[in-house]
Amino acid sequence: MDDPELGEPPRRKRGGAPVTALLVLFAAAFLGWAALPLLGLDVFDRYTIAFVALLQYAVPVGVVLALVALVLRRWLTTLVVALAVVGLVAFVAPRAVPDAQPTTPGTPLRVLSLNTYFGRADAAQIVDLVRRGDVDVLGVQELTPELVAELDRAGLGQVMPHRVFHAGPAADGTGIASRFPLQELSLVPKTTLHQPSARILLPGGKSVEFVAVHPLYPVGADTADAWQRDLAALPEPPHDGAVRLVAGDFNATLDHTPLRALLGRGYRDAAEVTGAGLQPTWPRPDQWLPPPVTIDHVLVSGSAAVRDYRTVPVRGSDHRGILADVVVPR
**One domain for residues 159 and 263:** yes
Concatenate the DSSP letters of all residues of 230-267 into one string: HHHTSPPPPTT---EEEEEE-S--TTSHHHHHHHHTT-
The reply to whether 194 and 276 lie within a common domain is yes
pTM given for the model: 0.92
What is the structure's pLDDT at 1?
Answer: 47
Q: Looking at the structure, do residues 222 and 242 belong to the same domain, yes or no?
A: yes
Write down which residue in 72, 95, 118 finishes a domain: 95
Kindly state whether residues 252 and 299 are assigned to the same domain: yes
Same domain assignment for residues 68 and 178: no
pLDDT band at 129; cut points 50, 70, 90: very high
Q: Look at phi and psi of residue 244 and say left if phi exceeds 0, alpha if psi is from -120 to 50, else beta.
A: beta
Residue 324 sits in the same domain as residue 212? yes
Work out the angle between the directed axes of helices 16-35 and 75-92 (0-180°, nearest 10): 20
Residues 175 and 266 in one domain: yes
What is the DSSP pairing of strand 106-115 with strand 137-141?
Answer: parallel
Mean pLDDT across 80-103: 93
Taking only the tens place, the pLDDT of each residue in 310-325 is: 999 999 999 999 999 9
Rg, Å, the chain Cα set: 24
Query: Does 290 share its domain with 176?
Result: yes
Residue % of the chain over a pLDDT of 90: 85
Give 247's pLDDT tier (boundaries 50, 70, 90): very high
Is residue 120 domain-shared with residue 39, that is, in the same domain? Answer: no
Q: Are both 54 and 164 inside the same structural domain?
A: no
The continuous run of DSSP H or E covering 137 comes out as: strand 137-141
46-53 and 224-232 helices, crossing angle to 10°: 60
Contacts of 31 (CB under 8 A, 6+ apart): 80, 81, 84
Domain boundary among 95, 116, 132: 95
The total of structural domains in the chain comes to 2
Same domain, 61 and 140: no
Q: Do 123 and 251 belong together in one domain?
A: yes
The HSE-up count of residue 90 (CA atoms within 13 Å, CB side) is 6
Cβ–Cβ < 8 Å for 279, 321:
no
Distance CA 226, CA 221 (A): 11
Among residues 95, 121, 144, the one where a domain terminates is: 95
For residue 232, the domain's CATH number is 3.60.10.10
Residue 233 domain boundaries? 101-329
Cα–Cα distance list, 25 to 14, 72, 110, 228 (Å):
17, 15, 49, 31
